[in-house]
Structure 1
Amino acid sequence: MATNAGASGGSPDPRPGAVGEAGRDALGGVRIADFSRVLAGPYATMLLADLGADVVKVERPGTGDETRQWRPPADENGTSTYFLGVNRNKRSVALDLADEAGRERARSLIAESDVVVENFRPGTMERLGLGYSDLRARHPRLVYCSISGFGAAEGAAIPGYDLLVQAMGGLMSVTGESDGEPMKAGVAVVDVITGLHAALGIMAALRHRDVTGEGQRVEVTLLGSLLSAMVNQASGYAVAGVVPGRMGNAHPSIAPYETFPTADRPLAIAVGNDGQFAALAAVLGRPDLAEDDRFRTNPDRVAHRTELRELLTARLTTAGADHWSAVLLASGVPAGPVNTMDEAFAFAERIGVPGIVTLPASTGSGSSSQVAHPITLDASPARYRMAPPGLGEHTAEVFPPE
């Protein structure tokens, strides 16, 4: 039975080895043939897998997803933590797509799937006979998501690496100190944003299919995702022709909205309105600043940010970041210390935000610790069914011997 004919809710998926349960899981009964690797695609499919989709990850025999080799760091079995971070709740099959037998297996997997996700260089799936135009006549309900760096036209020849997109898409031009070099973000943030957009596009296409019975192609690019995610900076250019530059941790339109030194470590202060500024001034023992013509309104503070920063720093350096964070938050002023990774997880645990979860063991990993899914659903929550798979761990399960 081809599931791109539509899965019905309320009962477990009848296909062999399916892991999501329709009715219990938000995406139970949805199967995804996942040909993506590295980050944007795998992150998208992991989010969908957490919500119940049965994701079958197609990997190259012998090497698999490139990120399996991206280490250190690694777990106790030597498995890359990069790979482990975006591949839970998936089954892995090893298929050689350069071989006709491998392509035939891929076609059989697609025939039993609702969604295809791929992030090969544009044109690759078409050359393999696995492009959307090759499949849509036979599988009209199929949702086909293609992820690329710069699109399938003139940008097709540019490799879609996050660093290149951060550079060429403008993010690095606004990241870093004003008198320093352009800097990338500390994580592959463009890949992550693109993965989120891909997951959203897939969900929209599935909803459209539920209503109309028709599948469609979903196309997401890293460049387009970044330009959208640049929000106020991109809008400033699109609307007013303003080309922004680097400002360190300061904000082009709000002040004070940056990090400040304290007696021990940096403190982030995010004042969004005049009332918060008045509260900040009072806590710092300088209530007069809220009545100073240089700082009375946000536009005033932006125009005089250098003087304001000097005045605030003089007070903030008299105590530590934790002290100021506590007293400022108590007064309604958004503020917090710049945490390290371990401190960030400890903070999340302390305030009840899910941080690290434990998964069942797998041959693909000696470690079962994972970062929690970020979305809470009270009726059909994310579930952690399987640790990231070993390369080809489920090939015989998905393609049982005849």
Structure 2
Amino acid sequence: MNPSLQEGALAGLRVLDLSRVLAGPWAGQLLADLGADVIKIERPRTGDDTRAWGPPWLAGADGEPTGESAYYLAANRNKRSVTIDLGQPEGQALIRRLVEKADVLIENFKVGGLAQYGLDYASLIEVNPRLVYCSITGFGQTGPYAARAGYDFLMQGMGGLMSLTGRADGSAGEGPVKVGVALTDIMTGLYATVAIQAALAHRERTDKGQHIDLALLDVQIACLANQAANYLIGGVVPGRMGNAHPSIVPYEDFPTADGYMIIAVGNDGQFARCCEALGKPEWGRDERFSRNPQRVEHRATLIALMRDVTPTRTTSEWIGIMEAAGVPCGPVNTIDKVFADEHVRSREMRIEMAHPLSQTMPLVANPIRLSESPVQYRHVPPTLGAHTDEVLDAWLDLSGAKVETLRSNGVI
């Protein structure tokens, strides 16, 4: 079957995305990529905060900035934009009517922020008992911090990630460092997508919707993974180790003649082959290094020995040698080199879409590969309010005259 004619896995699902910035929009984009009809509800005139988070801006056909920021474009593909003023009673009424037709609502207002408009979960579940209502906040709906605003950077610090990221105390450049992308927001968006689909599966069995309470801080703590387990089980607070791994050696970056490479040895067999590749087979027989627990114990000695050898060849030379020996090894790429990589190109991780304000625009592809219901790139990230008329007509059967009255009154 022609992929362009196939429906997405979530075709028929209707989602109202009232969220802004990244965590909520990321979940909405993923649902949209999988085939859901995601309606992005935005403030008239200004829209999502990230629309103003530039430069860089998408360039128009004339080469001039269009006013569409790269940040906004990264998280809003495949959606349709509808502008509604939630501060007006008529706007609130429109949302309630849309909720009657919707399966899912995503929002990231402060706790209680939508109650003043009658758009909180308790109010909307009366309108549509089957609604899956996903709330994303910094600290959750309960607890002493619930009323606080939360941002990704704050959560990376409060949630422990920055205590693990950066150079070790006593080394050059020591100190906590955040991850270079808003990772907590992204992970929260992924958890939200999983939770929404779980709630929909539950609804299939019970015919009841439910409220999803997702907190950025909770997600960040959950994603500490083995580091949290190391503390809870071992009782030792892990610290910053730069690019090293707390439980595996060698598993970090090494200098080469022209830059850096990563060697990621996952077992003793790989280590023995790594030693052969480095021209030091005796290290693989050394009782200090032959097994991983001993390598962890003698980490400093082994890493110093390896760092004496790795600068003797270029990164590409070492990668060729290590690959031939079956040792996981790779470069530390800048983003331009990521998209130039032959494997990344073969996986088509960069896509091009036509945009109404530009000739084409590049985007990062969705990494999910489904054999029977592949991701379809149906809509570019929408311009503000681009679909207001068509959605109000299709979902609510509002006539052109009624829509124009709403527009003249500033409701849409």
Per the normalisation by structure 2, the TM-score is 0.90
- For residue 132 of structure 1, the aligned residue among 110, 121, 135 is 121
Considering Cα pairs closer than 8 Å and 6+ residues apart, tell me whether 1 or 2 has the greater RCO: 2
Gaps of 5+ in 1: 1-19
In structure 2, C-alpha distance between the alignment counterparts of 1:343 and 1:98, rounded to whole Å: 46
1:377 pairs with 2:376: no
Corresponding residue SS for 1:57: strand
| Residue 82 of structure 1: aligned partner | 71
Give the AA of the match of 2:386: E
| Residue 62 of structure 2: aligned partner | none
Corresponding residue SS for 1:260: strand
- For residue 37 of structure 1, the aligned residue among 1, 20, 25 is 20
Corresponding residue SS for 1:368: strand
1:390 pairs with 2:390: no
| Residue 252 of structure 1: aligned partner | 246
Deviation at 1:296, TM superposition (A): 1.2
| Residue 156 of structure 2: aligned partner | 166
- For residue 191 of structure 1, the aligned residue among 175, 185, 194 is 185
1:270 pairs with 2:264: yes
Deviation at 1:137, TM superposition (A): 2.7
Runs of 4+ in 1 over 6 A off after TM superposition: none
| Residue 14 of structure 1: aligned partner | none
CA contact (8 A) 2:51 2:67 kept: no
Structure richer in strand, relative to its length: 2
| Residue 96 of structure 2: aligned partner | 107
Question: Deviations 1:82-126 (Å, cap 9, x if unpaired)?
Answer: 000010111111111111111111111111110000011111112
In structure 1, C-alpha distance between the alignment counterparts of 2:391 and 2:302, rounded to whole Å: 63
Instruction: Assess, with a 3 A threshold, how the Cα gap between structure 1 residues 199 and 279 changes in structure 2: closer, same or farther.
Output: same
| Residue 315 of structure 2: aligned partner | 321
Corresponding residue SS for 1:359: strand
| Residue 85 of structure 2: aligned partner | 96
Question: Deviations 1:47-100 (Å, cap 9, x if unpaired)?
Answer: 110111000001111111010011122211232100000101111111111111
| Residue 196 of structure 2: aligned partner | 202
CA RMSD, 1 decimal: 1.6
- For residue 36 of structure 2, the aligned residue among 42, 53, 58 is 53
Give the AA of the match of 2:287: D
Q: How does 1:222-261 map to 2 (within 5 A)?
A: 222-261=216-255
- For residue 368 of structure 1, the aligned residue among 361, 372, 377 is 361
Give the AA of the match of 2:276: A
Deviation at 1:306, TM superposition (A): 1.0
Instruction: Assess, with a 3 A threshold, how the Cα gap between structure 1 residues 326 and 78 changes in structure 2: closer, same or farther.
Output: farther
Instruction: Assess, with a 3 A threshold, how the Cα gap between structure 1 residues 219 and 367 changes in structure 2: closer, same or farther.
Output: farther
Give the AA of the match of 1:138: V
CA contact (8 A) 2:92 2:117 kept: yes
Corresponding residue SS for 2:15: strand
Give the AA of the match of 1:119: N
Instruction: Assess, with a 3 A threshold, how the Cα gap between structure 1 residues 94 and 351 changes in structure 2: closer, same or farther.
Output: closer
In structure 2, C-alpha distance between the alignment counterparts of 1:355 and 1:292, rounded to whole Å: 43
Corresponding residue SS for 2:355: coil
Corresponding residue SS for 1:157: coil
In structure 1, C-alpha distance between the alignment counterparts of 2:242 and 2:342, rounded to whole Å: 26
CA contact (8 A) 2:15 2:36 kept: yes
Gaps of 5+ in 2: 60-65, 394-399, 403-412
Deviation at 1:162, TM superposition (A): 0.3
Deviation at 1:368, TM superposition (A): 2.3
In structure 1, C-alpha distance between the alignment counterparts of 2:127 and 2:93, rounded to whole Å: 14
| Residue 334 of structure 2: aligned partner | 340
In structure 2, C-alpha distance between the alignment counterparts of 1:182 and 1:348, rounded to whole Å: 34
Give the AA of the match of 2:77: R
Corresponding residue SS for 2:76: coil
Per the normalisation by structure 1, the TM-score is 0.92
Question: Deviations 1:227-271 (Å, cap 9, x if unpaired)?
Answer: 111101111122222211100000111100000101011101110
Instruction: Assess, with a 3 A threshold, how the Cα gap between structure 1 residues 139 and 379 changes in structure 2: closer, same or farther.
Output: same
- For residue 324 of structure 2, the aligned residue among 327, 330, 333 is 330
1:24 pairs with 2:16: no
Aligned residue pair count: 381
Give the AA of the match of 1:68: R
Instruction: Assess, with a 3 A threshold, how the Cα gap between structure 1 residues 147 and 123 changes in structure 2: closer, same or farther.
Output: same
Instruction: Assess, with a 3 A threshold, how the Cα gap between structure 1 residues 89 and 351 changes in structure 2: closer, same or farther.
Output: closer
CA contact (8 A) 1:261 1:313 kept: yes
Instruction: Assess, with a 3 A threshold, how the Cα gap between structure 1 residues 99 and 366 changes in structure 2: closer, same or farther.
Output: farther
In structure 2, C-alpha distance between the alignment counterparts of 1:209 and 1:260, rounded to whole Å: 51
Percent of residue pairs bearing the same amino acid type: 50
CA contact (8 A) 2:260 2:315 kept: yes
In structure 2, C-alpha distance between the alignment counterparts of 1:359 and 1:286, rounded to whole Å: 51
CA contact (8 A) 2:42 2:83 kept: yes
Deviation at 1:196, TM superposition (A): 0.2
Deviation at 1:41, TM superposition (A): 0.5
| Residue 408 of structure 2: aligned partner | none
| Residue 123 of structure 1: aligned partner | 112
In structure 2, C-alpha distance between the alignment counterparts of 1:137 and 1:109, rounded to whole Å: 13
